[in-house]
């Protein structure tokens, strides 16, 4: 921030009394480096207006000076950069920022200053920049990168505010809630609805985006409800609902999205700025019924210069007086086509704002309503049948030219405030998000809710109803109806709140006033600088659907999503096409209703909590022993255990070598483990695996291969028969969940007649593989059974107990080998895993046992030629491609088998599993290498296959690899090139069978 200038005179536009502000709490804030004063209860917008600051921003495209036009969430212009550093927030609507002491805000999208903005040059050449101009130019030079040149400058010019460069310190949360009736909006209709529903015994949630309930009724001293003044009634009802045990009142809470099955998303802004404080909370409210009392947004009328600072929507000008005791100007011209602006004029007049004229497009004969009558009685000058043709001024409106519609007579009126009202648009956003339909209402000249598609009803201004009395009655009825729909009826239904009915005259649709001088822009969408001429151009060029208009002109695509602009744009489109507005329709209303902080949308599930991190029962031991971890899906697994001075790869090589010479132990707990019990398990397994299991003896294990429905290899693992009707199946780490779900489907849905029960026990068991020539000797020292080959042959499973310092640990002992060495797997209850693990290491210490990680495990299995699902079995390979065609039992059916015989799956050009050895030991096989015949051939260079797994084999002192190779089994003995253009690396490799160590398996059977 720049050095503050001398504080401006204190709040020259603040009224001496009135308003829902707390004058006992003065607040100091800073805007664009200048200090100002305000009061608690102010918004940044009201405080700025109180200090006479109207110019607050520059428009997106032409950088035109812009002021505050609204008093709520629909504000299109007054977007500011709030706060600084990591807490800075771009594009915040000044009309929704509650003022706090020390608030710092700055205007956006201007340089060097708001008053003197270089970007305003765009305004000077705006005639060169009509809607969609960028589709017609910036095409020279004719180079693929040509646009990048222009884009660079366009990107810098665009973009409004600036995002923080440091991490957001804010905290956010999510909360789920259920209720009978959710009432969105706590204006008169919403309060009446909530009260009626609660009185009927419904559990009610009421939310409102503002600080306190009341909506447009806040501060309206003139009105009365149930015989008391409106503010008093609001306070009473607010207290009543807040105290009601069945009612939850949520202030500062915006319903941003209406989703399927009556789930409504709310975002609650929690007061307080400290970073440790919860900043925002998203509610997922599942409501049995919803009442939408979301009110209405006033719309402007387009005329030349209608975007000058000092131009406000009439209702907003009134709100600033009544709610915040702020005069938005000294001398006002009110321009309207309906009665509500007359009421606003009276409020401004009473507040000491001189009403220079009420310019009403309607003829005098149409001004029959209550408020025009009051205006006449107050001697306010009314120019009926007249329009504002254009406003004059540079950084602030200085006056307007008014023309009579029939005589054409013109007059200039000096003013510093223009209050405009083109009518009101119900806030139908949530109704439409809930798939409700809309109807164009000619009397209101806007779209109102028609049929609802979910358990929802609209009430009050949101439903197009006119006036306080009607809103109260409709809200009350909607509340009772919502409760009644849930069979909740009050014994003695409370009476509807009553207010005096003010007669209103008819509104006359008026969208834009033709400019006298060609090319003088009349704005439809303030934020995106869409003018009436842009709409005309779009139609002229054939962009005549509402979506084309929106996308070609960017109408309604700003951060305000066109809340004030869309209906005007649609009406102008209809006029130009000479079609009824109804037939034009609207663009689709998309969530969110107003922009929602990304942090709040993510809630807790961000950063480290985006996904759970899975750790094995042995994780702490790994960490304590210097493991370098690697992620495998959600799991953390030890890559290797580097010693001082060792690289992780050195360590892995040491570990791998040690397994072949002595023994090693590796954590295999992440493997999926599923227990199957029941009479028909064997039948199920025979249908799920390609090989047979009905003939698997109790106490024996067998490797199993599983296909997808399309015949492609899905998963592999071991199947162990623990007892006649009790099996243990292991899956790969990645497929554990999918295989379990599939088995459950088959058991529950396809073959319910099978007596099989499946339980996932992955987390319940800790598993470790002990491999190496000395593994049996080590095992013998700590288990209570004979582990000689005669007693525990290869592919046997048995029970035993492991003796540990912590006591005897029950275990399952499997004699299976992934490393190719003599090996055993110990499965013990997870909580006893560490005891088992340490006992094995202690028992093997003098025999040279070492723990080894996934990298050494990978090296060992590559040397042995064992496949990995995900590498060799890549979702495109068949059992035969992997050299396991014989495993597919010819005598039985299994899942995937029928499609195995499709022509392409038995063709000779299949990529088959082979082993590769690098010609020169010094030259590594590059990572992710492809196999080609001629490495120097120009692209496209046909690929014969690719390396799937590779390693430096410490036991063969060579770079070896497994690969999938076109017709690979026929190429044994030939040489090819493994190349990596990415790494600019290549090596000549010799093709052979995929087994480098102990191809006949003597070691593992030993």
Partner 1 sequence: MAQPVTLPRTLKYSIFSLARNAVTFHEHWPLAWRSPPPKPRYDAIVIGGGGHGLATAYYLAKEHGIANVAVVEKGWLGGGNTGRNTTIVRSNYHLDPNAHFYELSMKLWETLSHELNFNVMYSARGVLNLLHAPAEVDAAMRRGNAMRLNGIDATYLTREQVAARVPRLDCSAHARFPILGGLLQPRGGTVRHDAVAWGYARAADALGVDILQQCEVTAIRVADGAVTGVETTRGAIAAPRVGLAVAGHSSQVAALAGLRLPIESHVLQAMVSEPVKPVLDTVVTSGAVHFYISQSDKGELVMGGDLDFYNSYAQRGNLPIVEHVVGACLALFPSFGRLKLLRTWGGIMDMTMDGSPIIATLPVKGLTMTGGWCYGGFKATPASGFLHAYTMARGEPHALNAAFTLERFAQGRVIDEKGAGPYAWSH
Partner 2 sequence: MLLIPCPWCGPRNQIEFSYGGDATVRRPPLDAPMEAWTDYVYLRDNPRGPHDELWLHAAGCRRWVVVRRDTRTHEIAGSAAAGPGPAGAGRVIDASGGPPAEAA
Q: Which residues bind partner 2 (CB under 8 A)?
A: 259-263, 284, 286, 435, 453, 709-710, 741, 744-745, 748-750, 752, 893, 898-899, 901-902
Residues 902-931 that bind partner 1 (CB under 8 A): 902-905, 927-930
| Residue 643 three-state SS | coil
Nearer to partner 2, 22 or 605 (CB): 605
Site for partner 1 contains 134 (CB under 8 A): yes
For residue 741, the partner it binds in partner 2, partner 1, none, with Cβ less than 5 to 8 A by kind, is partner 2
Give the orientation angle of helix 340-350 with respect to helix 314-324, to 10 degrees.
40
Task: Choose the stretch contacting partner 1; rule: CB under 8 A; options: 230-238, 285-293, 506-514, 896-904.
Answer: 896-904
Q: What CA–CA distance (Å, rounded) separates 379 from 369? A: 16
Distance (Å, rounded) from C-alpha 324 to C-alpha 347? 13
Beta bridge partners of 932: 977
Does position 623 bind partner 1 by CB under 8 A?
no
Closest approach, Cβ 285 to partner 2, in A, equals: 11
Report the residue number, 675 or 881, with the smaller CB distance to partner 1.
Answer: 881
Q: Which does 154 bind (CB under 5 to 8 A by kind): partner 2, partner 1, none?
A: partner 1
Q: What angle do CA 262, 265, 270 make, to 5 degrees?
A: 145
Torsion angle (degrees, nearest 10) of CA 107, 113, 118, 120? 50
Closest CA to 179 of 196, 201, 199, 195: 201
Phi/psi at 525 (5° precision): -110, 105
With a CB cutoff of 8 Å and minimum separation 6, the contacts of 997 are 660, 820, 863, 864, 955, 956, 1003
Nearest distance, CB of residue 451 and partner 2, angstroms: 13
Query: Are 275 and 83 spatial neighbours (Cβ–Cβ below 8 Å)?
Result: no
The span from the CA of 249 to the CA of 263, in Å, is: 18
Q: Which does 974 bind (CB under 5 to 8 A by kind): partner 2, partner 1, none?
A: none
Residue ranges in 488-527 that form contacts with partner 1 under rule CB under 8 A:
518-519
912, interface contact from partner 2, partner 1, none, CB < 5-8 Å by kind: none
Q: Which does 153 bind (CB under 5 to 8 A by kind): partner 1, partner 2, none?
A: none
Binding mask 28-67 for partner 1 (x = CB under 8 A): --------------------------------x-------
Closest CA to 527 of 254, 160, 151, 48: 160
For residue 711, the minimal CB distance to partner 2 (Å) is 9
**What's the closest the beta carbon of residue 328 comes to partner 1, in angstroms?**
27
Q: From 602-610, 723-731, 756-764, 835-843, give the range in contact with partner 1 by CB under 8 A.
A: 602-610
For position 755 contacting partner 1 by CB under 8 A, the verdict is no
What's the angle, vertex CA 335, arms to CA 332 and CA 337, rounded to 5?
150
Residue 443 host element (H or E): none
Three-state SS at 183: strand
Cβ contacts of residue 471 below 8 Å, gap of 6+?
Answer: 187, 188, 189, 192, 459, 460, 461, 465
The C-alpha atoms of residue 153 and residue 643 are separated, in whole angstroms, by 53
Contact 291, 478 (CB under 8 A): yes
Count of Cβ atoms closer than 10 Å to residue 900 Cβ: 19
Which among partner 1, partner 2, none contacts residue 679 (Cβ within 5 to 8 A by kind)?
Answer: none
- Residues 929-988 within binding reach of partner 1 (CB under 8 A): 929-930, 932, 939-941, 943, 946-947, 979-983
Parallel, antiparallel or unpaired: strands 424-426 and 296-298: antiparallel
561, 735, 859, 912: residue in contact with partner 1 (rule CB under 8 A): 561
Q: How far apart are the first and last CA of the chain?
A: 78
Residues 313 to 372: which contact partner 1 by CB under 8 A?
A: none
Q: Which does 145 bind (CB under 5 to 8 A by kind): partner 2, partner 1, none?
A: partner 1
**Is 761 a residue that touches partner 1 (CB under 8 A)?**
no
Looking at the Cβ atoms of 655 and 825, the one nearer to partner 1 is 655
Q: Which does 25 bind (CB under 5 to 8 A by kind): partner 1, partner 2, none?
A: none
How buried is residue 884: exposed, middle or buried, by Cβ count under 10 Å (0-12/13-18/19+)? buried
Q: Residue holding tokens 């004059």?
A: 392
Binding flag, residue 551, partner 1 (CB under 8 A): yes
Name which of 285, 208, 284, 282 is nearest 600 in CA terms.
Answer: 282
Binding letters toward partner 1, positions 75-104, x by CB under 8 A: -----------xxxxxx-------------
Q: Which does 514 bind (CB under 5 to 8 A by kind): partner 1, partner 2, none?
A: none
Distance CA 925, CA 978 (A): 7
Distance (Å, whole) CA 125 – CA 121? 7
- Closer residue to partner 2 (CB): 138 or 259: 259
CA dist., res. 669 & res. 762, Å (int): 7
The yes or no reply on residue 155 touching partner 1 (CB under 8 A) is: yes
Q: Note the Cα 396 to chain centre separation in Å.
A: 40
553 three-class SS: helix
Position 592 contacts partner 1 (CB under 8 A): yes
* Residue number, 722 or 989, with CB nearest to partner 1: 989
Helix (H) or strand (E) holding 64: none
C-alpha 180 chain-centroid distance? 27
| Span interacting with partner 1, options 332-340, 465-473, 606-614, 715-723, rule CB under 8 A | 606-614
Contact with partner 1 (CB under 8 A) among 601, 684, 779, 895: 601
CB of 911 vs partner 2, minimal distance in Å? 22
Nearer to partner 2, 352 or 752 (CB): 752
CB of 126 to partner 1, least distance (A): 9
Question: Is residue 547 at the binding interface for partner 1, with CB under 8 A as the rule?
Answer: yes
Which listed range, 19-27, 407-415, 456-464, 574-582, lies at the site for partner 1 (CB under 8 A)?
574-582
Nearer to partner 1, 538 or 850 (CB): 538
Asked if residue 239 binds partner 1 (CB under 8 A), the reply is: no
Three-state secondary structure readout of 76-103? CCCEEEECCHHHCEEEEEHHHCECCCCC
Length of the chain counted residue by residue: 1006
> In the numeric block, which tokens belong to residue 998?
């102990």
Q: How far is the CB of 107 from partner 2 (least distance, A)?
A: 39
Q: Can you tell me which of 608, 644, 805, 908 binds partner 1, judged by CB under 8 A?
A: 608
Site membership for partner 1, residue 149 (CB under 8 A): no
Q: How far apart, in whole angstroms, are the C-alpha atoms of residue 819 and residue 1004? A: 9
Distance of closest approach, residue 434 Cβ to partner 2, in angstroms = 11
Residue 136 binds partner 1 (CB under 8 A) = yes
Residue with smaller CB distance to partner 1, 292 or 538: 538
**Which of partner 1, partner 2, none does residue 376 bind to, with CB < 5 to 8 Å depending on kind?**
none
844-869 per-residue burial string, b: 16 or more CB within 10 A, e: under 16: beeeebbbbbbbbbbbbbbbbbbbbb
Map the footprint of partner 1 across residues 104-133, applying CB under 8 A. Answer: 127-128, 130, 133
- Contacts with partner 1 by CB under 8 A: the residue count is 125
Using CA atoms, how far apart are residues 545 and 586, in angstroms rounded to an integer? Answer: 9
Residue 57 site contact among partner 1, partner 2, none (CB < 5 to 8 Å, cut-off depends on kind):
none
Residue 239 binds which of partner 1, partner 2, none (CB < 5-8 A, kind-dependent): none
Nearest to 422 by CA among 532, 524, 338, 521: 338
**Chain position carrying tokens 């990298």:** 855
Residues 859-888 that bind partner 1 (CB under 8 A): 870-871, 874-876
Instruction: Decide which of partner 1, partner 2, none touches 748; Cβ closer than 5 to 8 Å per partner kind.
Output: partner 2
Could you say which residues in the range 283-312 bind partner 1, by CB under 8 A?
A: 284
Residue 9 as a binder of partner 1 (CB under 8 A): the answer is no
């Amino acid at each position: 921030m720049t050095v503050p200038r001398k504080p401006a005179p204190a709040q020259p536009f603040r009224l001496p009394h009135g308003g829902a502000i707390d004058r006992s709490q003065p607040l100091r804030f800073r805007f664009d480096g200048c200090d100002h004063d305000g009061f608690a209860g102010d918004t940044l917008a009201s405080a700025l207006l109180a200090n006479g600051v109207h110019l607050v921003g520059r428009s997106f495209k032409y950088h035109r000076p812009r002021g505050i036009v609204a008093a709520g969430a629909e504000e299109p212009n007054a977007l500011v950069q709030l706060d600084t550093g990591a807490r800075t927030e771009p594009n915040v609507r000044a009309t929704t920022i509650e003022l706090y002491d020390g608030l710092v805000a700055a205007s956006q999208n201007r340089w060097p200053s708001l008053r003197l903005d270089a970007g305003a040059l765009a305004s000077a050449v705006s005639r060169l920049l009509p809607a969609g101009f960028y589709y017609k130019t910036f095409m020279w030079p004719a180079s693929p990168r040509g646009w990048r040149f222009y884009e660079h400058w366009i990107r810098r010019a665009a973009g409004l505010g600036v995002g923080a460069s440091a991490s957001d310190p804010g905290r956010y949360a999510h909360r789920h809630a259920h209720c009978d009736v959710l009432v969105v909006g706590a204006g008169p209709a919403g309060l009446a609805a909530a009260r009626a529903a609660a009185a009927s015994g419904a559990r009610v949630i009421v939310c409102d985006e503002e600080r306190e309930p009341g909506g447009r009724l806040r501060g309206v001293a003139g009105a009365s409800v149930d015989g008391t003044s409106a503010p008093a009634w609001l306070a009473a009802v607010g207290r009543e609902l807040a105290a009601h045990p069945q009612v939850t009142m949520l202030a500062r809470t915006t319903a941003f999205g209406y989703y399927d099955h009556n789930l409504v998303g709310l975002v609650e802004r929690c007061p307080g700025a400290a970073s440790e404080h919860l900043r925002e909370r998203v509610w997922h409210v599942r409501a049995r019924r919803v009442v939408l009392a979301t009110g209405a947004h006033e719309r402007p009328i387009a005329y030349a210069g209608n975007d000058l600072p000092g131009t406000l929507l009439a209702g907003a000008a009134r709100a600033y007086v009544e709610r915040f005791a702020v005069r938005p100007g000294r001398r006002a011209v009110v321009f309207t086509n309906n009665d509500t602006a007359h009421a606003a004029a009276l409020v401004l007049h009473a507040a000491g704002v001189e009403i220079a004229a009420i310019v009403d497009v309607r003829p005098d004969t149409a001004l029959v309503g209550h408020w025009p009558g009051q205006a006449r009685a107050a001697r306010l000058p009314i120019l009926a049948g007249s329009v504002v043709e254009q406003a004059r001024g540079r950084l602030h409106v200085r006056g307007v030219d008014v023309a009579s519609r029939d005589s054409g007579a013109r007059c200039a009126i000096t003013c510093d405030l223009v209050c405009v009202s083109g009518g009101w648009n119900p806030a139908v956003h949530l109704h439409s998000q809930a798939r409700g339909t809309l109807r164009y209402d000619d009397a209101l000249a806007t779209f109102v809710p028609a049929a609802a598609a979910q358990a929802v009803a609209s009430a009050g201004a949101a439903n197009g109803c006119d006036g306080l009395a009607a809103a109260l009655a409709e809200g009350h009825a909607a509340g009772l109806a919502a409760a009644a729909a849930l069979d909740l009826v009050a014994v003695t239904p409370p009476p509807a709140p009553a207010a005096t009915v003010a007669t209103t005259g008819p509104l006359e649709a008026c969208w834009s006033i033709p400019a006298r001088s060609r090319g003088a822009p009349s704005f439809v969408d303030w934020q995106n600088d869409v003018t009436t001429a842009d709409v005309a151009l779009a139609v002229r060029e054939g962009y005549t659907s509402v979506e084309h208009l929106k996308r070609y002109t960017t109408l309604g695509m700003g951060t305000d999503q066109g809340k004030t602009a869309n209906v005007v744009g649609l009406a102008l489109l209809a006029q130009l096409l000479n079609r009824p507005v109804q037939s034009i329709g609207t663009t689709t209303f998309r969530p969110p209703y107003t922009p929602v902080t990304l942090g709040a949308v993510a809630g807790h599930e961000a950063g480290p909590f985006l996904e759970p991190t899975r750790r094995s029962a042995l994780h702490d031991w790994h960490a304590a022993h210097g493991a370098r971890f690697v992620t495998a899906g959600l799991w953390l697994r030890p890559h290797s255990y580097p010693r001082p001075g060792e690289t992780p790869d050195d360590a892995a090589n040491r570990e791998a070598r040690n397994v072949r010479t002595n023994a090693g132990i590796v954590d295999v707990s992440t493997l999926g483990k599923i227990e199957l019990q029941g009479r028909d398990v064997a039948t199920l397994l025979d249908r799920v695996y390609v090989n047979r299991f009905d003939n698997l003896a109790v106490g024996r294990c067998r490797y199993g291969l599983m296909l997808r429905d399309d015949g492609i290899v899905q998963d592999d693992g071991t199947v162990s028969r623990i007892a006649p009707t009790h099996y243990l199946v292991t899956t790969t780490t990645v497929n554990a969940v999918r295989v379990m779900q599939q088995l459950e489907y088959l058991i529950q849905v396809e073959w319910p007649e099978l007596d099989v029960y499946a339980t996932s026990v992955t987390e319940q068991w800790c598993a470790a593989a002990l491999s190496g020539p000395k593994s049996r000797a080590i095992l013998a020292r700590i288990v209570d059974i004979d582990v000689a080959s005669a007693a525990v042959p290869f592919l046997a499973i048995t029970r035993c107990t492991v003796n540990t310092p912590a006591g005897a640990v029950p275990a399952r002992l499997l004699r299976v080998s992934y490393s190719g060495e003599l090996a055993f797997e110990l499965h013990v209850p997870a909580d006893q895993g560490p005891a088992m693990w340490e006992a094995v290491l202690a028992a093997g210490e003098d025999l040279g046992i070492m723990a080894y990680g996934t990298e050494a495990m990978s090296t060992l299995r590559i040397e042995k030629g064992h496949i990995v699902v995900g590498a060799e079995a890549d979702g495109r390979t068949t059992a035969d491609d992997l050299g396991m065609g014989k495993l597919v039992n010819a005598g039985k059916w299994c899942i995937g088998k029928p499609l195995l015989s499709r022509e392409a799956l038995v063709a000779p050009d299949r990529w088959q599993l082979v082993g590769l050895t690098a010609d020169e030991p010094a030259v590594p096989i590059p990572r992710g290498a492809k196999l080609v015949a001629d490495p120097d051939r120009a692209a496209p260079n046909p690929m014969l296959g690719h390396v799937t797994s590779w390693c430096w084999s410490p036991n063969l002192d060579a770079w070896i690899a497994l690969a999938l190779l076109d017709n690979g089994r026929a190429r044994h003995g030939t040489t090819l090139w493994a190349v990596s253009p990415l790494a600019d690396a290549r090596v000549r490799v010799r093709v052979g069978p995929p087994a480098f160590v102990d191809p006949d398996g003597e070691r593992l059977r030993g």
